[in-house]
């Protein structure tokens, strides 16, 4: 097949995240299986207009907003040269490929809903919520990553929703030596719906209960400096690494005694799965997508959304209870084994070939 994926960011974009990881892990495996795979994405400053990355042709046009103009025009002009066009709707607004191509599908990771009011101005948030209500009916075939998102899409009128789950590269994410003293990590983007400031509040509480604990926050984003300022006042012991190379991230996941996840919503919670593969359990908010990645009491602990005191209590309890922590971590590792990029690629290939 000749497959065209449209996504805001390619894997080398400075803001590439979980959605890009998902798309590229599958795209490069499809290419290795003999398919001709292209990704159309926005072009950040300094990036070449076109390059080959692991057998995937990456074409860059426009910016975050203007890609929504370039993409339909590109599909209208070149869509006939592709057997299928897949819109990766990772940032609310669809690329409208069904209007210009015969065989299309959409990848939708999660439904933001009112969370958009935290991340964008009210007019844009309301437009985004309206778009999320329309998008499930625009595409005949939708692919998502979790049962939570599938159920939300079906309630919004989607006709056919397939689950192709997030996965882990088990050669990279695997157990390693644990830190001799308690280490808790928060790995995510510093954006409003990830609630990094909640992590600071939670860490401040835990430090009182388990004072020997080291806390590390990994990632970048618009709220990084604001979060650092809050930490300087209330939790100056927190370490901030900024964006790190993947090998550094993996080492931290291996060393950690636990990870913390404070998102309002996720498609699945890829970071939780990566931690689990490294035999590290998580404490997380009980929200859509995250509850698909954490089985409460078996692979980690779920706490009420934005309840920082309960999260701190749960995290401190895990750090103090060696038997429970090790049991949760081992069960999490076994659970993560069933999520494999090759298996997800096979599912994606089967869906796209049936269109």
DSSP string, 17-69: -HHHHHHHHHHHHHHHTT-EEEEEE---TT--SEEEETTEEEEE-S-TTTHHH
pLDDT score for 167? 96
pLDDT band, very low/low/confident/very high, at 295 (cuts 50, 70, 90): very high
**Cα–Cα distance measured from residue 39 to residue 41, given in angstroms and rounded to the nearest whole number:** 6
CA proximity to 333, closest of 175, 172, 164: 175
pLDDT tens by residue, 11-63: 999 989 889 999 999 999 999 999 999 999 999 999 999 999 999 999 999 99
pLDDT category at 118 given cuts 50, 70, 90 is: confident
Please tell me the distance from the alpha carbon of residue 233 to that of residue 222, in angstroms, as a whole number: 19
pLDDT tier at 99, thresholds 50, 70, 90: very high
Q: How confident is the model at residue 318 (pLDDT cuts 50, 70, 90)?
A: very high
Give the residue from 59, 60, 53, 64 showing the smallest Cα distance to 27.
53
- Closest residue by Cα to residue 17 from 193, 220, 302: 220
Indicate whether 186 pLDDT > 90.
yes
Burial class (CB in 10 A: 0-12, 13-18, 19+), 344: buried
3-state SS assignment for residue 266: coil
Cα–Cα distance measured from residue 8 to residue 10, given in angstroms and rounded to the nearest whole number: 7
* C-alpha to C-alpha distances, 12 to 41, 249, 348, nearest whole angstrom: 11, 17, 22
- Average pLDDT on 218-243 reads 97
Mean pLDDT on 159-183? 96
Q: Which residue has the tokens 């970071």?
A: 271
Q: Is 46 exposed, middle or buried (0-12, 13-18, 19+ CB in 10 A)?
A: exposed
Looking from the CA of 269 toward its CB, the CA atoms found within 13 Å total 33
Statement: residue 244 has pLDDT above 90: yes
Q: What is the percentage of the chain residues whose pLDDT exceeds 90?
A: 92
pLDDT given at position 121 = 87
Question: What mean pLDDT, rounded, does the chain reach?
Answer: 96
The Cβ-side half-sphere exposure at 86, using a 13 Å CA radius, reads 27
pLDDT at 91: 87
At 85, phi and psi to the nearest 5? Answer: -120, 125
How large is the average pLDDT for residues 160-170?
A: 96
Please say if the pLDDT value at position 119 is more than 90: no
H or E stretch including 58? strand 56-60
What domains can you pick out in the chain, each with its CATH number? Answer: 2-167+341-353 (3.40.50.2000), 183-336 (3.40.50.2000)
């Amino acid at each position: 097949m000749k497959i065209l994926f449209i996504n805001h960011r390619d894997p080398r974009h400075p803001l590439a995240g979980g959605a890009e990881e998902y798309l590229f892990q599958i795209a490069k495996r499809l290419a290795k299986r003999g398919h001709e795979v292209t990704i159309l994405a926005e072009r950040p400053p300094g990036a070449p207009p076109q390059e080959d990355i692991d057998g995937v042709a990456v074409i860059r046009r426009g910016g975050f907003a203007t890609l929504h103009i370039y993409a339909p025009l590109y599909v209208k002009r070149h869509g006939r040269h592709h057997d299928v066009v897949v819109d990766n709707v990772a940032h609310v607004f669809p690329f409208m490929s069904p209007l210009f191509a015969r065989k299309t599908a959409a990848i939708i990771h999660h439904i933001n809903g009112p969370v958009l009011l935290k991340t964008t101005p009210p007019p844009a948030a309301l437009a985004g919520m309206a778009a999320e209500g329309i998008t499930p009916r625009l595409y005949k075939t939708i692919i998502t990553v979790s049962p939570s998102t599938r159920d939300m899409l079906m309630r919004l009128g989607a006709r056919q929703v397939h689950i192709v789950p997030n996965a882990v590269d088990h050669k990279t994410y695997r157990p390693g030596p644990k830190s001799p003293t308690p280490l808790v990590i928060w790995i995510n983007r510093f954006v409003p719906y990830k609630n990094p400031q909640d992590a600071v509040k939670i860490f401040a509480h835990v430090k009182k209960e388990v004072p020997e604990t080291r806390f590390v926050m990994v990632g970048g984003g618009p709220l990084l400096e604001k979060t650092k300022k809050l930490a300087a006042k209330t939790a100056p012991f927190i370490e901030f690494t900024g964006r790190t190379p993947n090998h550094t991230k993996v080492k931290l996941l291996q060393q950690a005694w636990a990870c913390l996840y404070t998102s309002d919503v996720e498609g699945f919670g890829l970071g939780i799965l990566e931690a689990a593969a490294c035999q590290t359990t998580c404490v997380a908010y009980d929200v859509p997508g995250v509850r698909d990645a954490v089985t409460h009491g078996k692979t980690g602990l779920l706490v009420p959304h934005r309840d920082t005191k309960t999260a701190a209590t749960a995290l401190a309890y895990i750090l103090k209870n060696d038997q429970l922590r090790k049991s949760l971590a081992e069960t999490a590792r076994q659970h993560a084994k069933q999520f494999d990029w090759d298996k997800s690629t096979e599912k994606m290939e089967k869906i796209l070939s049936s269109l």
